[in-house]
Structure 1
Amino acid sequence: MTNPELIDAQMFSDQSRLGTGIQATTDAPASRSLADVKPFGVAINKRSIDWTPAVAEEPVPVVLGAAGKGSRLLSLVSQFPFASLKGRVAVEPRLTADATGKNDPLTALESPALSAVFEAAKIFAYVSTDRDELSDYPVTETAIKNGLTAAVGQRVDHFLLNGAVTTDQTFEGLLTGAVDTSVTALDAKALLDAVARVQDSGADATHIVARPSEIAAIIDTVPGDKLDRLPALIAVPDLADGTAAMPVGKVLVGDLSSVAVAIRSNLEFTASTNHPEGYPIDAVLLGARARVGNPKIAAPGRVQTLTVPAV
């Protein structure tokens, strides 16, 4: 007769592989040292590891997607991997061709092509755990890796939308660079008008981005025949500490393929067993970091926002 507890444990383990956010095991503690622990392919074999490139098993946008728990936007924009601290992103010029005669003046100098400089923001997350917990139970290692990549991925979405202000740099997000329109309601007319304005800019709207509650309201209020004419709906939730990625009463409508985002080719990893606060309690500090440039919009109007003013 099959043991129901074993069936439940197997189902629990299967769910963990599907990205539920839970890791489980029925195995005995692993017999391994801390040097055998490699959350991102980097062995924790020193008292402190400086930021080190992670071993790339998958592209960074896939890693930061964290099986649906991390970034919802990074895989939708146009990504440009880089290896240095900063670089340039060239935007294809939007030109109008003309028919001219041999004596007509040349107008090419009126339409210069430019590249935009980007600075990379460091987006990171930290977690601590007991040394024995980390070495004895591989599921702890897996849970930490998934948690770190999810946290960094979610903050990447917040950064793409809102930008950031650091001690040495101000990064502009899509909500600042978008063309904003004040509306009385996020109804079918307002949304379809925004889609039309994106088309006027020479692109096709690919996505509507908003808080989960706003997306739910759109699905509930927009008639089915008009809902089918809207772009894909993307719900971006708040961060774990409650920080809003998308403001209440605001929706982004745009061609996300027209958004250029530079991202460093490797995620970076750090670990420390001698942190002043962690060392006395035998704790290990671990961190993951991505470097992302602020988004560049290919042409004005390709990203629109709709705002319902607060009452």
Structure 2
Amino acid sequence: MSDRLNRVAVLVLEGAKPLDVGIPAQVFTTRASMPYEVRVCGAAPGLVTGGDGLSYHVAHGLEALGWADIVFLPGYRHPDRDDPPPAVVEALLAAHARGARLAAISTGAFALAATGLLDGKRATTHWHYTRALAQRHPRIRVDENVLFVDEGDVLTSAGAASGIDLCLHILRGDLGIAAANHAARRLVAAPYRSGGQAQYVPRSVPEPLGERFAAVREWALHRLGDPLTLEVLSRRAAVSPRTFSRRFVEDTGYTPMQWVMRARIDVARELLERSELSVEQIAADVGLGTGANLRLHFQRILGTTPSEYRRTFSGDAG
């Protein structure tokens, strides 16, 4: 890794939502474990009127987008009424052309959509605005039932809390899962919420069952080295395997066994980063049995080998 800090710009537009602004600013704040520098900016330096009775005094204008490696677009009020100013759209396009990633939180997806960079790609936004986004930008494949979508150079997320999930996802890709989990603990946030997990959309499902399923997932995360079958998990939830499977997919976007496999791979990733255990030992510890089995699933899910992953993200990577 380069000694230069990764540069993060948070673009505050008129009507910006305070949580959406604060999440990337806080997640990527410079500290020993976080090699990032954050600049909060607006269409021009000075006062920006926000939503929810708050205003922001930003130190930087659009020049910060020319400086940044990643630009966050927080959500803002009434996104379906007007596109952002032309100068903002031009600066976003210029940043993207220069190689910066653009990441929208909640209704910030509308500002990103105004650039045309989401055309032909999957994207999401807060569930209340997914229909408006699809109508305003019909070339975007709007997915209302995910927490975030990573299209490589453009990323979008749902409501404010999923902005944390998106930021942790970016950290996982930049610095590895150990750093992302460390940040999650600092934020007292869930470290394992995939982009495929469903948004909370009001539906007629008894809430206690949802809480029970969340408790089963937490229980499973502490027992990944044990045999975790559909029968074991559904018995823990006190429902039939069929009901468990159906509800699990609704809640997470994965079947129970897909979710368990990804959780095991995540623990394996952290062990590869933070320990000198052999691949065989790690495979046994996370419930995958053999090193060959771990290599198989690692390649299928992450597109790389455990050894190559360790070289990339271990403390010796430089």
TM bucket, shorter chain: under 0.3
Structure 1 length-normalised TM: 0.20
Specify the structure having the higher radius of gyration (Cα).
Answer: 1
The structure where helix makes up a greater share of residues is 2
Report 1 or 2 for greater relative contact order, CA contacts < 8 Å, sequence distance ≥ 6. 1
Structure 2 length-normalised TM: 0.20
The structure where strand makes up a greater share of residues is 1
